[in-house]
């Protein structure tokens, strides 16, 4: 019988934003911490054989390196509503330099995987999309979360298949630790309402960020996101084998280290 984890012995995890109400300090301390940890990873090598390119959206003084399942649709909508936004290739150095502040949204990888499965496998795309992204297997209409982890996420990593941006580590998508990447602000998806409001007001010059974010949310929310999941994201991992959770730890070890996320999905912080 395959060994699985139990939630009886959760690990304690406290995010930086839970310790400080001063958003400016949280963002600056986070940026400094990430840059310091980047130096400890040097020389970091992107493991994906067909090296992913970053996708940048610029609007006024803000430039976003998008992270699928990290609020990318929401932020594209925010930037589009705020000003005429432009999609730029990673090589558009001059145009990118016109934006004064470049930001990235990070997200707990354990939570992000559940979101990818729920949104892209369970509620959005059909069998054809699942087949392409999950080793060309013929699947029933829906696959379980543990099957998704084994045959989609882990298989693409182990067998050198094309990466999928919905579970690609942010460090590989946005090349966080490259000196030329120069990320000014790292927004935590878990605290995006407060941090996004600060970003738009202080760096984007938006006079009413609450109104803008609410409008963007109403415009970008998907049907799947309106449904309440009867499980916590942690409960989805109860059926995932220890072996596969350990592989996920290896896959996301730089993400976990760089952004100070928990090493296990089983933590005792309710907003993790």
Tens of pLDDT along 151-192? 888 888 877 666 778 888 888 888 888 777 788 999 999 999
Alpha-carbon span 179 to 185, nearest angstrom: 15
> 73 or 194: whose pLDDT is higher?
194
Can the peptide bond before residue 43 be classed as cis, meaning omega within 30 degrees of 0? yes
Which has more pLDDT, 66 or 272?
Answer: 66
pLDDT of residue 218: 87
Contact between 200 and 194 under an 8 Å Cβ cutoff? The reply is no
In this prediction, residue 144 carries a pLDDT of 87
Does the pLDDT at position 38 exceed 70? yes
Task: Determine the pLDDT at residue 93.
Answer: 43
Query: What was the pLDDT predicted at 52?
Result: 60
> pLDDT digit string (tens) for 85-142?
455 444 344 344 455 799 999 999 999 999 888 887 776 655 666 666 676 565 566 6
Assigned CATH for 19-259: 3.40.50
pLDDT of residue 270: 54
Residue-averaged pLDDT of the chain:
80
The residue with greater pLDDT, 228 or 36, is: 36
Structure confidence at residue 220 (pLDDT): 77
pLDDT at 75 over 70: yes
Average pLDDT over residues 200-227: 83
Task: State the pLDDT confidence band at 261, using cuts at 50, 70 and 90.
Answer: very high
Q: What percent of the chain has pLDDT over 90?
A: 32
CA distance 147 to 152: 8
pLDDT (average), residues 212-216: 89
Residue, of 229 and 202, whose pLDDT is higher: 202
Q: Give the chain as a 3 state SS string.
A: CCCECCCCCCECCCCHHHCCCCHHHHHHHHHHHHHHHHHHHCCCCCCCCCCCCCCEEEECCEEEECCCCCCHHHHHHHHHHHCCCEEECCCCHHHHHCCCEEEEEECCHHHHHHHHHHHHHHCCCCHHHHHHHCCCCCCCCCCCHHHHHHHHHHHHHHCCCCCCCCCCCHHHHCCCCCCCCCCCEEEEHHHHHHHHHHHHHHHCCCCCHHHHHHHHHHHHCCHHHHCCCCCCHHHHHHHCEHHHHHHHHHHCHHHHHHHCCCCCCCECCCCC
Segment 64-83 shows an average pLDDT of 85
Is pLDDT at 34 greater than 90 in this prediction? yes
């Amino acid at each position: 019988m395959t060994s699985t984890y139990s939630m009886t012995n959760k690990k304690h995890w406290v995010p930086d934003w839970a310790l400080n109400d001063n958003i400016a300090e949280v963002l600056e301390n986070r940026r400094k911490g990430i840059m310091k940890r980047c130096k400890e990873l040097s020389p970091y090598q992107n493991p994906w054989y067909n090296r992913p390119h970053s996708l940048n959206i610029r609007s006024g003084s803000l430039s976003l390196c998008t992270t699928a399942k990290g609020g990318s649709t929401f932020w594209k909508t925010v930037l589009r509503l705020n000003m005429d936004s432009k999609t730029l290739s990673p090589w558009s150095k001059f145009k990118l330099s016109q934006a004064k502040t470049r930001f990235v949204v990070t997200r707990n990888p354990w939570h992000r995987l559940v979101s990818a499965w729920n949104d892209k496998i369970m509620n959005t795309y059909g069998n054809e999309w699942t087949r392409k992204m999950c080793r060309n297997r013929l699947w029933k209409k829906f696959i379980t979360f543990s099957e998704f982890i084994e045959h989609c996420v882990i298989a693409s990593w182990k067998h050198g298949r094309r990466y999928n941006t919905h579970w690609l580590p942010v460090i590989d998508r946005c090349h966080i630790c490259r000196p030329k990447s120069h990320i000014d602000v790292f927004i935590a998806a878990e605290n995006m309402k407060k941090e996004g409001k600060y970003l738009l007001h202080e760096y984007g010059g938006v006079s009413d960020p609450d109104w803008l974010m609410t409008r963007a949310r109403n415009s970008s929310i998907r049907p799947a996101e309106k449904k309440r999941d009867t499980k916590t994201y942690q409960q989805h991992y109860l059926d995932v084998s220890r072996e596969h959770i350990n592989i996920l730890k290896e896959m996301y070890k730089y993400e976990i280290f760089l952004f100070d996320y928990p090493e296990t999905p089983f933590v005792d912080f309710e907003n993790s």
